[in-house]
Amino acid sequence: MKLLIVESPAKAKTISKYLDNLYTVKASVGHIRDLPKSNKKAIDIENGFIPHYEISPGKEKVVSELKSLSKKADEVLLATDPDREGEAIAWHIKEAIGLKNPKRVVFHEITKEAVQEAINHPRDIDDNLRKAQEARRVLDRLVGYDLSGLIWKKVRYGLSAGRVQSPALRILMEREREIRAFKSEKYWNISADVLSASKTPFTLICIIEPRDNKEVERIVKIGNEGNWTVIGLDESEAKRTPRPPFITSTLQQSASTRLGMSPSRTMGVAQKLYEEGFITYMRTDSTALSSYAQNQIGEVVGKKFGQELYVPRVFSKKSKNAQEAHEAIRPTHLSDENVGHTPEQKSLYKLIWQRTVASQMSDARILRTKMTANVIIPSNTSGQAIPDFTINGSRVINPGWLLADPDARSEDVELPKVTVGEKLTLKEIKTEEKETQPPFRYSEAGLIKELEKRGIGRPSTYASIIKTLEERGYVDKINKALNPTDTGDVVSSFLEQNFGNYISDTFTAEMEDKLDTISRGEIDYEKTLKDFYKPFSKDVKSKEKMEKVTNLGEADNSIVCPKCSSSMVIKLSKNGKFLSCSKFPECNGARTMEGKELEGPKELDEICPKCGKSKLVEREGRFGKFISCGSYPKCKFIKKDAELERQNSTGVKCPLCKDGMMTERRGRFGLFYSCSNYPDCKNAIKAKPTGKLCPVCGALMMEGTKTIPERCSVKTCPNHNPHKLV
């Protein structure tokens, strides 16, 4: 028997079809080992930053099965993803199941030809790539734990910081401060909707600096009464060169802009397309295309658009350390245009197909145009001239690559062909008093572009960076814009003031370069970490004596404490900023940032049954009132509402403590189901339990939806497959 181990069950299923039953294909279901949660046990700093790995919870049966199969196998191939993380997973599998000489194969695309070619050319696990990934993991743990621990003590319990997450937050806050400092100026925007002689509509614009309304009224009056004419044309022919094929960052940006997909969603959909064999590997910073792909594109262009439009191109490498995969993201078979099982997969595949084909086509020729128009005032009248109205746009002379990617045409305003002296027909003239706008907040696509520009993070990390910022409550996504929250503001300000050199662009980019040099075997893993951690830990320790950052500044003098009329200060709670009495804790008066009075916790005549020291208090939470210990967070006792527990009970017994009932609850991410004995029992799942137990791992089964049937509640369970019943 020959054993081939991949990461994903879907990938295993696809690959099995191409190996003619010569291999048993099994999935590790992602990572099987990781650092323990306790930082004291995780890394042996003194003996050379040696990480101590543990089998990930829920992966015990996966490891046991792989170990059993490997003992029966004549040959074991490790075919995890073709990047550093995949190399690390392959090494972890080798170590966990005790393989002596496993071979490593990589699939940059999952097609029959590529799979069989890779199987015929195995190699050893690349230890340099593995060490680079290990260095990243250890580095992130050291920075995250040390900085987060300090923030817990000096700002607020439960906050976090990260080596790459914090520089990204700093970028968002830098823009936010620009917006706050911006002073707007008023102006008038006068627009004239007109028709050309060919009846093509377009809009001319005139910007008027702040003046009295009479000037605006005069322009509108003359504009409505006069005859509009083209008085000037400034035209210049230009070329629009196609963009390179997608790399990870540009795919995330385009999917966000055109399809409205978040980076994490884009990568999830792309992963499915890759595992089904529809596209090449989606974590890459290389724009290269193989000769095989070039030939396929040439055939497609010849059949669909004309062979004369096929122009083979080689794009320069965007990243100086393009190390992930060897090719850009492209369809594995260019002849297929409509591919995918879901609307999202089809939309993303179409986007990739268009970009790939367009990249190898001739330039589009366009005529960039600035048109000027005005009302012709007869010389025998006493009327005064009005300012010119203009519009900038372009006209496509030869579409070239835009035939393959027509959606890219919308990036320019297309103007009709006109001539100087041509009469225009006015449809309507409108005025609007406006204000100059501050810089835009970053969208997800904009932040990814900025991170890439500054050398922060890597293709595989962009989506997780943004997801982490949202999950931590540091940013809110409002109308596609990433808005820093009060908590994000306070955390970023604290880090900038105290650890600015560690969250700077320079430091973060240089550290990425060092990880790249480790992957090439040019510098030592231990020395790199030692050179960083020694001064870093010293800086962290030096800040431990600083006072706790409880006050974030003084409130407006006009706002006083509702209880004692003293001045107020700005503080941070888990729900954002609020105003607190400056005499706290003697006085617990509080207000919202807008000045509305806040009611503090109401003390009850009942001692906490858990700690036996503090009185219970009634608090107002995000989801209503509840009763808890007055010493929270030292004592986390919460008094249960028996009636509410009864109403929300699912009737399913908790399989973990075998005493409580699974109960419906609501958290920051929506509905979930947990044991009624929480916090003593922390069993929790995302969907409503069915009462059945998984035949593989014994965990609860959850209800499905119209598209996802019943499945195991443990995501790492081998039977956790949303596409078929367990």
Q: Which amino acid is at 547?
A: E
Token pair recorded at residue 252: 């995330």
Check whether residue 413 and residue 387 sit in a common domain: yes
Check whether residue 590 and residue 513 sit in a common domain: no
Q: Is 281 a catalytic residue?
A: yes
Q: Rounded to 5 degrees, what are φ and ψ at 61?
A: -70, -35
Q: Residue 722: inside a domain, yes or no?
A: no
Token pair recorded at residue 94: 């080798």
Instruction: Taking each helix axis as running N to C, give the angle between helix 505-519 and helix 127-154, from 0 to 180 degrees, rounded to the nearest 10.
Output: 150
Q: Which of 310, 198, 336, 318 is nearest to 247 (CA)?
A: 318
Q: What is the pLDDT of residue 380?
A: 53
Check whether residue 216 and residue 162 sit in a common domain: no
Contact 31, 89 (CB under 8 A): yes
Contact 665, 644 (CB under 8 A): no
Q: How many CB atoms within 10 Å of residue 216? A: 16
Check whether residue 39 and residue 58 sit in a common domain: yes
CATH number of domain containing 49: 3.40.50.140
What span, in angstroms and rounded, lies between the C-alpha atoms of 599 and 159?
25
Phi-psi region of 199 (alpha: psi -120 to 50; beta: other; left: phi over 0): left
Check whether residue 535 and residue 393 sit in a common domain: no
Q: Last residue of some domain: 358, 388, 413?
A: 358
Q: Rounded to 5 degrees, what are φ and ψ at 254?
A: -65, -40
Q: Rounded to 5 degrees, what are φ and ψ at 334?
A: -70, -20
- Report how far apart, in Å, the C-alpha atoms of 466 and of each of 167, 288, 447, 575 are: 12, 27, 9, 20
pTM as predicted = 0.74
Contact 163, 533 (CB under 8 A): no
Check whether residue 341 and residue 275 sit in a common domain: yes
Contacts of 405 (CB under 8 A, 6+ apart): 242, 354, 355, 357, 358
- In 499-575, the DSSP E strands lie at 568-573
Q: Which of 50, 118, 134 is nearest to 85 (CA)?
A: 134
Which residues does the chain have with pLDDT short of 70? Answer: 39-40, 211, 317-325, 378-383, 411, 600, 620-625, 640-647, 668-669, 705-708, 719-726
Q: Residue 74: inside a domain, yes or no?
A: yes
Instruction: Taking each helix axis as running N to C, give the angle between helix 263-275 and helix 9-16, from 0 to 180 degrees, rounded to the nearest 10.
Output: 30
What span, in angstroms and rounded, lies between the C-alpha atoms of 608 and 614?
6
Count of all residues that appear for the chain in the document: 726
Q: What is the pLDDT of residue 706?
A: 63
Check whether residue 9 and residue 114 sit in a common domain: yes
Burial class (CB in 10 A: 0-12, 13-18, 19+), 40: exposed
Q: Residue 591: inside a domain, yes or no?
A: yes
Q: What is the pLDDT of residue 39?
A: 62
Q: Last residue of some domain: 358, 375, 390?
A: 358
Q: Residue 306: inside a domain, yes or no?
A: yes
Cα-Cα end-to-end distance for the chain:
27
Check whether residue 300 and residue 383 sit in a common domain: no
Check whether residue 348 and residue 389 sit in a common domain: no
Domain of 405 in residue numbering reads as: 186-241+364-435
User: What is the domain count for the chain?
Assistant: 6
Check whether residue 15 and residue 152 sit in a common domain: no
Please tell me which residue in 145, 281, 310, 525 is annotated as part of the active site: 281
What are the start-end ranges of the H helices in 196-288?
Answer: 213-225, 248-254, 263-275
What is the 3 state secondary structure string of 416-450?
A: CCCCCCCEEEEEEEEEEEEECCCCCCCEHHHHHHH
DSSP 3-state assignment of 511? helix
What span, in angstroms and rounded, lies between the C-alpha atoms of 614 and 59?
42
Q: Rounded to 5 degrees, what are φ and ψ at 553?
A: 135, 165
Q: Residue 550: inside a domain, yes or no?
A: no
Q: Residue 25: inside a domain, yes or no?
A: yes
Q: Rounded to 5 degrees, what are φ and ψ at 562?
A: -70, -15
The model's pLDDT over 643-658, given as tens digits with 9 standing for 90+, comes to 566 667 888 888 888 8
Q: Residue 561: inside a domain, yes or no?
A: no
Check whether residue 231 and residue 372 sit in a common domain: yes
- Whether residue 633 has a cis bond before it, omega within 30° of 0: yes
Check whether residue 418 and residue 375 sit in a common domain: yes
Q: Residue 573: inside a domain, yes or no?
A: yes
Contacts of 164 (CB under 8 A, 6+ apart): 140, 456, 457, 461, 465, 508
What span, in angstroms and rounded, lies between the C-alpha atoms of 313 and 297?
11
Token pair recorded at residue 111: 């097609």
The model's pLDDT over 138-179, given as tens digits with 9 standing for 90+, comes to 999 999 889 998 998 888 888 889 889 999 999 999 999 999
What span, in angstroms and rounded, lies between the C-alpha atoms of 320 and 452?
12
Q: How many CB atoms within 10 Å of residue 473? A: 18
Q: Last residue of some domain: 580, 604, 638?
A: 638
CATH number of domain containing 329: 1.10.290.10
Q: What is the pLDDT of residue 725?
A: 38
